[in-house]
Chains A and B, each alone.
Chain A
């Protein structure tokens, strides 16, 4: 009889233990699963060298906004756009294109963009004055490896220049005397980043075994000056100085004699 309440108590505390154990076990499994899951997602979305369809928003926003429905892929009349498959090592299910295989032919009605349900392809970014305008798309930027571009060897080739849909604007040809022969000219292509849409027709047209001109995402291909350089010769750029505030800093000058540093080891240089 005396045992009865303690047995009940035992059972209650056992139930409590079981409950706590079950909760901690669930939390543990969730933590482990969450870790593996998030690590995988982090890796799977890390790919930078992807060319997105025209009008694509910034890559970070693109990854959270694109719902991976493939409507842009279905809308593309040239089968340019692909959806990343498992094994492609690209963020799974998102659209991209490989210009050396099939470039973007820059349809004036841009069928891939208005059909996007999620806003990952932003119509307003390829619209001027209320009309769709593929020429302002920024899918990427063509860059040239002048070591493997035969025009830089002095051989006449303007395949990329001729292939460019913005002929003479996105790629221009520069003339330079060929000092080696003394009587020929170098006719070398130059890409203008403010015009180039990254369609990749040049990459497709390039005659070398592996294209010497190729499209990279703009984020990868371009540097950034930063706002501390101002073009003093440009009135518009100089306007940035209006309302600029002065920041005064003061560096303390060392009290040691300059001659001393010649006699010491290099330690006090750092």
Chain B
């Protein structure tokens, strides 16, 4: 029991957060709970505090909409929050699509798809192209381009308000991640992940690698959905500073040598040493 908790504590916490948030949103629509109303595009916390998806707000601005105060304040609150705790913490702790793509990633590992198709034919910086493309299309078409195709809001809205054919989109993402491209949606395409990657560059909570304890077993790199962020493993002691790290903490859990842990970025020390 103790080892289960030790090996999966963050995973359990993450799934609890993800499902708990879904339950709160679902309860707001189904039973009139007032804690968290709306959905991930925009919500109302405690019936007073607005929370809004900052990338959606950017698209609205690009499309030429007049941004309401609630949207601006909500987007700022969300941006500040993720700026502090790690941009892509949204991806691994909140986003419901993460459940789908994590399932695909686990199955991929279990069925050894990874070892058969090692070559990854696509670049992980594609998401930044999609991010910009979304804004350009919003600008040209005068509608929020990504919001009309986003599988994230599709699934989240689906769970809260009724799914319709949304399950088909989830199946496609699952199969795509499973057979076409490892971490295909979340690690290559999703522009919202790209947006939070940019935010996450400066965030405070970081995974720290302590090379003295490392035995180079590379379990962390196997389990990491963004393994390129762990380039320092077995080489040097350093914080994982890439914004693409989702702070999912799977690496921290699978490490049996205590070489990975959460830390708070040392801003002041860095300034002094001029790094």
**Assuming A42-B141, A71-B44, is B129 touching A117 (CB within 8 A)?**
no
**Is B148 touching A45 in the complex (CB atoms < 8 A)?**
yes
Q: B147 within 8 Å of A by Cβ? A: yes
Contacts A37-B133, A70-B29, A117-B52; is A61 near B65 (CB within 8 Å)? yes
From B68, B70, B153, A68 is in contact (CB under 8 Å) with B153
Please, how many angstroms separate the alpha-carbon atoms of A229 and B42 in the complex?
Answer: 46
CB pair A67–B166 under 8 Å, yes or no, is no
Chain A residues in 8 Å Cβ range of B60: 64-65, 67, 118
Whether the Cβ atoms of A117 and B74 lie closer than 8 Å is yes
The reply on A133 being an interface residue by CB < 8 A is no
Bound-state CA distance A235–B28 (Å) is 54
In the assembled complex, the CB of B167 is this many whole angstroms from the nearest CB of chain A, namely: 9
CB closest chain-B residue, reference A34: B133
- Contact indicator A92/B148 (Cβ below 8 Å): yes
Interface check A168, CB cutoff 8 A = no
Q: Which of A80-88, A145-153, A198-206 contacts B (4 or more CB under 8 A)?
A: A80-88
Instruction: Tell me if A93 is interfacial: C-beta within 8 Å of chain B.
Output: yes
Set of chain A residues within 8 Å of B74, measured between Cβ atoms: 117
Contact residues of B between 31 and 78, Cβ < 8 Å to A: 32, 37-39, 41-44, 50, 52-53, 56-57, 60, 63-66, 68, 70-71, 74
* B166 and A117 within 8 A (CB): no
Chain B contacts for A34, CB-based, 8 A: 133, 136-137
Chain A residue with the shortest CB-CB distance to B66: A119
Q: Which residues of B contact A67 (CB under 8 A)?
A: 41-42, 52-53, 56-57, 60, 71, 144, 147
Which residues of the other chain, A, contact B166 by a CB distance below 8 angstroms? 85-86
Verify if B163 is at the interface (C-beta below 8 Å from A): yes
Q: Chain B contacts of A45 at CB under 8 A?
A: 141, 143, 148
Q: Name which residue of chain A comes closest to B34, CB basis.
A: A74
Determine if A73 is an interface residue (Cβ-Cβ < 8 Å).
Answer: yes
Q: A37-B149, A64-B63 are in contact. Are A117 and B164 (CB under 8 A)?
A: no
- Using CB atoms, name the residue of chain B closest to A37: B137
- Which residues of chain B come closer than 8 Å to A40, judged between CB atoms? 148-149
A88 and B144 form a contact (CB under 8 A): no
A188 to B143, CA, bound (A): 43
Which residue of the partner chain, among B28, B32, B133, contacts A30 with CB atoms under 8 Å? B133
Known: A67-B60, A69-B38, A74-B28. A117 touches B71 (CB 8 A): yes
Tell me the bound Cα distance from A119 to B52 in angstroms.
13
- Quote the shortest CB–CB distance from A52 to chain B (angstroms): 15
Q: Which residues of B contact A71 (CB under 8 A)?
A: 37-38, 42-44
Q: Is A26 an interface residue (CB 8 A)?
A: yes
- Chain A residues with Cβ under 8 A from B43's Cβ? 69, 71
A48 within 8 A of B: no
Query: In the complex the two chains form, what is the Cα distance from A44 to B150 in whole Å?
Result: 13
User: Chain A residues with Cβ under 8 A from B161's Cβ?
Assistant: 70, 73, 82-83, 85
Q: Does B160 have its Cβ within 8 Å of any Cβ on chain A?
A: yes
Return B44 CB to nearest CB of chain A, in Å: 6
For A37, the chain B residues whose CB sits under 8 A away are 133, 137, 145, 149
Inter-subunit contact B164/A86 (CB<8 Å)? yes
B148:A91 contact, CB within 8 angstroms: yes
* Alpha-carbon distance A119/B72, docked complex (angstroms): 12
Please give the distance in Å from A78's CB to the nearest CB on chain B.
14
B154 within 8 A of A: yes
> Which of A67, A118, A119: most chain B Cβ within 10 A?
A67
Q: Is the CB of A93 within 8 A of B71?
A: no
B164 to chain A, nearest CB (A): 3
Query: When each residue 14-54 of chain A gets 1 if its CB lies under 8 Å from chain B and 0 otherwise, what string results?
Result: 00000000000010011001100110111011000000000
Chain A CB within 8 A of B168 CB: yes
User: Residues of A contacting B163 with CB < 8 Å?
Assistant: 85-86
Kindly state the separation between the CA atoms of A30 and B144 in the bound complex, as whole angstroms.
18
CB distance from B147 to the nearest CB of A (A): 6
Given contacts A64-B63, A85-B163, contact A70 B142 (CB under 8 A): no
Q: How far is the CA of A85 from the CA of B38 in the complex (A)?
A: 15
* Chain A residues within an 8 Å CB radius of B29: 70, 73-74
- Measured in the bound complex, the distance between the Cα atoms of B164 and A85 in whole Å is 5
Kindly list 11 other residue pairs between chains A and B, CB separation below 8 angstroms, not including A38-B141, A64-B65. Answer: A33-B130, A37-B145, A64-B60, A68-B153, A85-B165, A93-B154, A117-B42, A117-B71, A118-B70, A118-B71, A119-B68
14 A-B interface contacts by CB (under 8 A): A34-B137, A63-B142, A65-B60, A69-B39, A70-B161, A74-B28, A74-B32, A83-B161, A85-B158, A86-B154, A86-B163, A86-B165, A86-B166, A118-B42
